[in-house]
Structure 1
Amino acid sequence: FSFYAIFFVSESTTLEDLEKSNAPLLDYLANAGCLRPMRSIRDRDLLVQDIVIFQVIHRVQGPFQRYSVFCEGLKTLGVLDQIRRHPDSFRPLFCYEPNTLTANQVDDLFSIRLSPEGSNKRAAEEMVVTFWRDYLQDAEEGPSKLEKILAFTTGASVVPPIGFSPTPSVQFIHKGDDGFSTSMFPLANTCVNCINLPLHVSYQLFKEKFDFALGNTYGFGRA
């Protein structure tokens, strides 16, 4: 619902204009209990009054009633009184505030999907996992770089209050994988929160290619 709709209704000067401005609101008016036949331009002011009363008063009555019930529940064992006395102590329980990311937090967010133990692929992947964790540690020292890594993989620069779904994951780009065989840069699919890491043999090369990917990728989807 847009308040411009009320404006268009209130500015109607003929019955025809009133009916035209009223037409897009029929479902809203029916749900709000404001639906009335427009027989003359004088019905305009009554309609505007009904809409305003619903928006300002009736629409918020439900939330206020639920809030009152919520407060009554908090009075049990004096919880509400303690919240009022120590609001700063209780704020983290009721208000989500994103924290500055650390390398360990970002590492814990990702599940690492390794090849079967003992395979040639597994050995190469385990080396790159150390590069990945070293890169996160280095990124912790730079301004907002961890947030860029998270955004590169998931599209979000902060961890949502309810976490990510699906869980962010790390996979690896092996030679011969469909579409990935020639990539020297990390690839991300933000739709499934997955980052694919190339199998470089030195940390310096890994870091160089990752820095380039972060600095030259914009938008949402597949990076």
Structure 2
Amino acid sequence: MCLLLNLFHLDLETLEQSNVDGPYEPMEADATNREHETEQGGTRFSDFIPLDFEEEEAVEEAIRRSLEEETVQVPQESRSIKTLTTEEITGIVKAHSEMVVTEGFRSIIVSRRNVWTSAIRQFRRPRFVESTDMLYVTFASDKNSTEDAEDLGGPRREFFRLLVKAIFQESGAFEESPNGFIPRLSVSHVQNRVYRTIGQMMSTIIVQGGECPALLSSVVLDYLLTGRMFDIRVSPEDVADLELRDSLKTIDQATTDDDLQRAIESCESWRYQIEGLPNPVTMDNKDAFVKNAIIFHVLLQRKSCYDQLAEGLECYELLPLLKENLPLRVLLEMPKVRSDLTADVVATLLKPSYSVLGSNKRPKEELMVVKFRDFLNSVQEREVEECLHGRTLTEAEKTFLRTLNPGHILAFVTGSSRVPAVGFQPSPKLSFVHNENKYLPVAHTCSNELEIFVNSKNLADNDEFEYNFLVALMNGANFSAV
């Protein structure tokens, strides 16, 4: 029995080599398991690292404020390496992107309702993956036709945002620990090289202006960047399985021999199958037992998954870039302190495009900006429903308001709920249309522009503007569903 799990890793590598060119077929059992686990787990899909590239001082300051609590983490043996500022990080990524992304376009048609299935079909095409051209995204409609939106950046950013969610929620390739996501050991995924494809997807997302897929555990990044699993600092919080994690925590926290022996009993089903663990376990060697057990379950047992992921991250030469600039690991790593995008950051990003000073239109536009920023603050403080207390809201509207946050507004305008690693191109802006017959704000995601209609109805001292914005967000759910 002690050799079974050591041999199991070799079997996975054999399967991997014999199925390099095999087609990918999703398994019904995998889908069922993923659905059950999604119901049980509290997966966090909106915690992305916002990184921006912007020359204007006001925007840089907003991004700096949004990241002031974030710490750039580097491997344990590299603590003395100088950290990089947000501007330096985004500058490196932008320069790298300009070098590795070619000027042509490669088309991809995606179903919003089946993002993972439609995306992996495209990314498994050799010629598609070998190309370094910019993606040109078209979303398939429900009527077997395509939408008319020209992809000048908005559809691509929206696709990347949906793809990040699909990778961690729908693919069945990851499971979540308290410290972030780790690869899930799946024989079918290793056979079909799904982890390599995911690495290619992540590389494409980062260098082509998508939200950073910063959801991986620090342990995953430590191994990908160093390859030295036994030198990595680990803890029970790196384990995704709740029962196993609790067992290892109990052993780690045991203060007496009796407590330790009771805790060890919960590990009887697997500890004798792993050759090399301390036996018997004592107070003197329990730390080594816990560390090596974590390394086995989180890293060694899943080595084929990590190796494929690393191979995929070679796409666009991203992994070498990360190894040369260790602080860039924030592009993939779950932050230690997770915070939502704030109303102030969104307001600063959406720079108003006013009429000239002295124009009769200017005072009205400034008042609309005040109302817009009040609405943003109400969204952040969960006060929109109170602002609309004079209205009878539908259950759908109430449900939407319970999840509404400033990231929805940014996604509505740009197709991205976070600032991409290479920044927004072009810079987002807030524009004004003086029209008495239109009331709902309009988003142009390709130009990153929010268009607000200036008229007596929206300027009135009531809740009309706020309700119109709510209606627009709900009808633009493809962009605003963060």
The match for 2:349 is 109
Contact 1:168 1:194 in 2 (8 A): yes
**Residue 159 of structure 1 corresponds to which residue in structure 2?**
419
Quote the offset at 1:70 in angstroms.
7.9
How do residues 11-26 of structure 1 correspond to structure 2 at under 5 angstroms?
none
Q: Percent identity?
A: 31
Does residue 170 of the first structure (1) align with residue 185 of the second (2)? no
Cα distance change on mapping 1:4 and 1:111 into 2, 3 Å? farther
Matched-pair contact (CA < 8 Å) for 1:186–1:210: yes
Letter paired with 1:110:
L
1:147-177, CA deviations, whole angstroms, 9 ceiling, x for partnerless residues? 21111111112221222111110001113xx
> How much does 1:205 deviate?
1.3
Is residue 337 of structure 2 the alignment partner of residue 130 of structure 1? no
Alignment of 1:68-147 (within 5 A): 92=330, 95=333, 97=335, 99-142=339-382, 143-147=403-407
The worse-fitting range, judged by mean Cα deviation, of 154-163 and 187-196 is 154-163
SS in 2 for 1:147: helix
Does the alignment pair 1:201 with 2:441?
no
> Which of 182, 187, 210 is 2:442 aligned to?
187
Whole-Å Cα distance in 2 between the matches of residues 184 and 196 of structure 1? 10
The equivalent residue for 1:217 is: 476
Mapped partners of 1:131, 1:99: distance in 2? 25
**Is the contact made by 2:322 and 2:329 (CA closer than 8 Å) also made in structure 1?**
no
The Cα offsets for residues 94-129 of structure 1, whole Å up to 9 and x where unpaired, read as 847574111111111111100001111111101101
- Residues 96 and 161 in structure 1, CA contact (< 8 A), matched pair in contact too: no
Report the residue type matching 1:213 in the other structure. Answer: A
Mapped partners of 2:476, 2:421: distance in 1: 26
- The two structures have a TM-score, normalised by structure 1, of 0.55
Query: CA shift at 1:212, angstroms?
Result: 1.1
Structure 1 distance, partners of 2:319, 2:475, is: 47
Q: CA deviation at 1:191?
A: 0.7
Q: How far does residue 91 in structure 1 lie from its aligned partner after superposition?
A: 6.1
Pairwise CA distance, 1:218: 3.3
| Alpha-carbon separation, structure 2, partners of 1:69 and 1:216 | 40
Quick one: which of 396, 410, 426 aligns to 1:150?
410
Cα distance in 2 for partners of 1:214, 1:170 equals 16
One-letter code aligned to 1:140: Q
Q: In the alignment, what sits opposite 1:12?
A: none
SS in 2 for 1:123: helix
| 1:38-72, Cα deviation, whole Å (9 max, x unpaired) | xxxxxxxxxxxxxx9xx999x95xx5xx978986x
Counterpart in 1 of 2:122? none
Could you tell me how far 1:131 is from its partner in structure 2?
Answer: 0.4
Distance in 2, matches of 1:152 and 1:145, equals 11
Letter in 2 for 1:6: D
What are the ranges of 5 or more consecutive residues in structure 1 without an aligned counterpart? 9-24, 29-51, 75-79, 84-89, 176-180
User: Measured at CA, do residues 189 and 27 of structure 1 come closer, stay the same or move farther in structure 2, by a change above 3 Å?
Assistant: closer
Q: Structure 1 CA distance, aligned partners of 2:321 and 2:415? A: 38
Partner of 1:77: none
Helix, strand or coil at the partner of 1:128: helix
Change (3 A) 1:198 1:67: closer
Q: Which runs of 5+ in 2 are unaligned?
A: 1-17, 24-124, 129-192, 197-303, 383-402
8 Å contact 2:412–2:473 — kept in the other structure? yes
Shift of 1:26: 10
Larger relative CO (CA 8 A, sep 6+): 1 or 2?
Answer: 2
CA contact (8 A) 2:331 2:421 kept: no
2:449 alignment partner AA: C
Q: Do the aligned partners of 1:174 and 1:198 also contact (CA within 8 Å) in 2?
A: yes
Structure 1 CA distance for aligned equivalents of residues 346 and 321 of structure 2: 39
Aligned length: 155
Task: Give RMSD over aligned pairs.
Answer: 4.1
Contact 1:139 1:145 in 2 (8 A): yes
Larger Rg: 1
